[in-house]
Amino acid sequence: MASPRRGFYLIVPPEYRIVGAPPASWFVDELMRHLGQPYYVGILTAAAIHGAAHQQPMVFQVVTSKPTRDVRVGKVTIRFSTSTRLERMPVVKKQTETGTMRLATPETCAFDLVRYPSAAGYPGNVAVVLSELFEQLDPGALVEIAPIVRLPDVQRLGFLLDWVEAKTVADGLARWLRERKPRLVALRPGGAAAEGSGNRWLVYPNVDFEEDR
């Protein structure tokens, strides 16, 4: 038996005894019900499930509604990011070995990669992940999510999609963005945005992509 939270218990099958816990996908849905919090599996974990597995995440990443400390049980770690827009972001139910879990759609995942830069590995790593994920993206679904997130998130995602040569996927976002008259932003959050970006997203690329991976 293992107990990642007070009052919540796991049966550890013999094949996972060395690890100390079954995979997080086996129990995340029941754990979040126990905590009484909405959630979805997201960011790099969702990207890997959708086929962008160039760099497997070291932790199981979950988006939820309020700050939540990591869950550590055996060698399994669940790390949480917080979103006030959680319940508006599109998700799907993903079949697991023990039931189902709520999984970010590819489009939700793409936006989360730029919304949570420290969890996603910053622009260099995000570009690598998007280069494997963009074929799963529906341009119309991206536009539907755009009003839910911040304008800089739309700008940064669009810029990175162009960077990985997925311009046709991002064209709808670019048309949507033009009507909102965005301001110039830096690609890496917190950095200064110089004038003269020279691209349709008004994003100043303040990173070296090779060094930033």
Q: How many beta carbons lie within 10 A of that of residue 109, not counting itself?
A: 31
Q: Average pLDDT, stretch 205-211?
A: 75
Cα separation values, 83 from 34, 57, 72, 87, Å: 19, 20, 21, 9
Cα 169–chain centre separation: 18
Structure tokens at 101: 């879990």
Structure confidence at residue 195 as a pLDDT band (50, 70, 90): low
70-106 pLDDT, tens digit per residue, is: 999 999 999 999 999 999 999 999 999 999 999 999 9
CA separation for the pair 171, 175 (Å, rounded): 6
Q: Average pLDDT, stretch 113-118?
A: 94
pLDDT at residue 56 above 80? no
For Cα atoms 79, 84, 87, give the angle at the middle one, nearest 5 degrees.
Answer: 90
Q: Average pLDDT, stretch 138-157?
A: 97
CA separation for the pair 135, 154 (Å, rounded): 18
Q: What local confidence, expressed as pLDDT, does residue 212 receive?
A: 55
Cβ atoms of 187 and 201 closer than 8 Å:
no
Nearest Cα to Cα of residue 28 among 135, 81, 101, 92: 101
pTM for this predicted structure: 0.92
Q: What local confidence, expressed as pLDDT, does residue 100 receive?
A: 96
Amino acid letter at 57?
P
Range of lowest pLDDT (31-40, 121-130, 148-157): 121-130
For Cα atoms 94, 38, 143, give the angle at the middle one, nearest 5 degrees.
Answer: 70
Structure confidence at residue 63 as a pLDDT band (50, 70, 90): very high
Q: Average pLDDT, stretch 140-157?
A: 97
pLDDT at residue 51 above 60? yes
